Amino acid sequence: MEQSHKTRIGLIGAGNICRVGHGPAIMADGRAYIAAISDPDPHNRAFFAKKYNVSGVYEDHRTMLEHEKLDAVIISSPPWLHARHVQDCAEKGIPILCEKPMATTLEDCRAIIEAGKKNNVYILMGHCKRFEPGHQKIRELLMKNTLGRLFQISIFWYFFIPDFTSGALGGIVRFLKKLGIDIERDFGFWRYRDIRAGGGDFFDHAPHYIDIIRFYGMEIEQVSCETKRCYPDTRPYEDIAVATFRLSNGAVFLYDKNVVRTGSPYGFERGYIYGEKGKIAFRAAHAYQKRRVKVGVYRLFNILCNRYLPAMLPYGRGETMFYRQMKFFIDKVRNENTFKNGVEGAWGATPEDSYLTVAWTLASYKSARDGIKITRENLFSEIENFETGKPHDW
Residue 191 pLDDT: 79
Residue 345 pLDDT: 54
Instruction: Check for a shared fold between 3-128 and 130-320+348-383.
Output: no
CATH number (3.30.450.40, 3.60.15.10, 1.10.287.3510, 3.40.50.720) of 3-128 reads 3.40.50.720
Residue 389 pLDDT: 63
Give ∠ CA 286-347-298 in degrees, rounded to 5.
55
How many Å separate Cα 150 from the centre of its chain? 25
Per-residue pLDDT of the chain (394 residues; tens, 9 = 90+): 777 789 999 999 999 899 889 999 999 999 999 999 999 999 999 999 999 999 999 999 999 999 999 999 999 999 999 999 999 999 999 999 999 999 999 999 999 999 999 999 999 999 999 999 999 999 999 999 999 999 999 999 998 888 878 888 788 888 888 888 887 777 777 778 889 999 999 999 999 999 999 999 999 999 999 999 999 888 999 999 999 999 999 999 999 999 998 877 678 999 999 999 999 999 998 877 888 899 999 998 898 899 999 998 988 888 899 999 999 999 999 999 888 765 555 579 999 999 999 999 999 999 999 999 999 999 999 998 776 666 666 5
User: What is the distance between the alpha carbons of residues 324 and 321, in angstroms, rounded to a whole number?
Assistant: 5
Residue 386 pLDDT: 78
User: What is the distance between the alpha carbons of residues 291 and 100, in angstroms, rounded to a whole number?
Assistant: 21
- Whether 32 contacts 6, CB under 8 Å: yes
> Side-chain half-sphere of 178: how many Cα atoms within 13 Å?
5
State the amino acid at position 287 in one-letter form.
Answer: A
State the amino acid at position 6 in one-letter form.
Answer: K
CATH code of the region 130-320+348-383: 3.30.360.10
Burial 20-49 (b: 16+ CB within 10 A, else e): ebbbbbbeebebbbbbbbbbeeeebbebbb
Contacts (Cβ under 8 Å, ≥6 apart) of 198: 79, 80, 101, 104, 105, 388, 389
What is the radius of gyration, based on Cα positions, of the chain?
A: 21
State the amino acid at position 218 in one-letter form.
Answer: M
Q: Exposed (0-12), middle (13-18) or buried (19+): which is 152, by Cβ within 10 Å?
A: middle
User: What is the distance between the alpha carbons of residues 192 and 139, in angstroms, rounded to a whole number?
Assistant: 32
Domain chopping of the chain, boundaries: 3-128, 130-320+348-383
Residue 344 pLDDT: 55
CA distance to 223, 262, 263, per residue, from 160 (Å):
26, 5, 6
Residue 7 pLDDT: 98
